[in-house]
Amino acid sequence: GENVEQHPSTLSVQEGDSAVIKCTYSDSASNYFPWYKQELGKRPQLIIDIRSNVGEKKDQRIAVTLNKTAKHFSLHITETQPEDSAVYFCAASISSGSARQLTFGSGTQLTVLP
Amino acid sequence: DTAVSQTPKYLVTQMGNDKSIKCEQNLGHDTMYWYKQDSKKFLKIMFSYNNKELIINETVPNRFSPKSPDKAHLNLHINSLELGDSAVYFCASSRTHRGSEAFFGQGTRLTVV
C-alpha cells in the first residue's frame, strides 16, 4: 500500500549543529507534506508544512525541501537547541478513495546534546 | 480554548471490558480522525469521518466502533478489550478531507491489564 518512509529513526546532534530528517513517499498524487513535533507525553503539533507547488519553505530555523520527481522531502533544523529534542514525524496526504489521509512516517527521535 | 479535546486522558481497564473515548473539536472542521500510537511511537490512522460520514476505515478489528453524532464529535467505543489494545489514542480534526493540517487532541493513554 501507500506509505511514507522516514530516516533516521534516532538522531543525536550537538547544540548549535544542524539536523536533517528525510522522508520518501510512494503516492505520486500526494500534494501536502506536513512535519509534526511531538514532545514527550504531548500531542503531535505542526511545525511546518509544504504543498506540492513549491520546492522549499523556511520558517526561522526550520526549513523543508520537496523533490516531487524523486518523491522525497526533508526537514532541516539549524542552530539546534535543547528544546528541539523531541520526536519528529513527516507525513504525506495519501489518496484513500475519495479522501486523502495523512499517512505518517515512523518518527525520528532527535536529541540535542548541550 | 482547547481546540480538540478528548476524554479521558488516562484509562486503565481489565481485559474483556468495554470502554469509550470521547472527542470534541470547536474549530468548525469538517473532518475528524482517530489515530493509534503504539509503544514504538508509530502513528497509524484508524478512522476518518467527514461531516458525520465514515470515509476512511483502515484495517481495524470490528471491536472498535466509531460514532459521530455531529461533525464536532467523534467518539470511539472499544468492545472486549485485549492486551494489544494498550496504546495512546489520538483524536484529530482537519478543515477538509482532501489533505490539510491535522490538529490533535491531547491523547488518551489506554492500558489494558
pLDDT tens digit sequence for B26-61: 999 999 999 999 988 899 999 999 888 888 788 889
Under-70 pLDDT residues of chain A = 1-2, 98
Residue A57 zone, left/alpha/beta (φ > 0; ψ -120 to 50; rest): beta
Is A31 close to B99, i.e. CB distance below 8 A? yes
- Which grid cell sits at B77? 467505543
Give the residue on B whose Cα is nearest the Cα of A34. B101
Is A103 close to B50, i.e. CB distance below 8 A? no
Q: Are B57 and B112 in contact (CB under 8 A)?
A: no
Is A44 close to B97, i.e. CB distance below 8 A? no
Query: Residue B91 — pLDDT band, cuts 50, 70, 90?
Result: very high
Residue B88 zone, left/alpha/beta (φ > 0; ψ -120 to 50; rest): beta
pLDDT at B64 over 60: yes
pLDDT value of position A53: 82
Give the residue on B whose Cα is nearest the Cα of A98. B55
Give the residue on A whose Cα is nearest the Cα of B50. A99
- Which grid cell sits at A95? 489518496
Give the residue on B whose Cα is nearest the Cα of A5. B42
pLDDT value of position A52: 83
pLDDT value of position A101: 82
Question: CB-CB: which of A32, A87, A89 is closest to B99?
Answer: A32
pLDDT value of position A27: 87
Q: Does A108 touch chain B (CB under 8 A)?
A: no
pLDDT value of position A70: 94
Question: How far is B112 from B18, CA to CA, in rounded Å?
Answer: 11
pLDDT value of position A2: 66
pLDDT at B80 over 90: yes
Q: Does B44 touch chain A (CB under 8 A)?
A: yes
Interface test with B, best of A39, A90, A104 (most B CBs within 10 A): A104
Chain B residues in contact with A31 by the CB 8 A cut-off are 99
pLDDT at B98 over 90: no
pLDDT value of position B33: 94
pLDDT value of position B1: 64
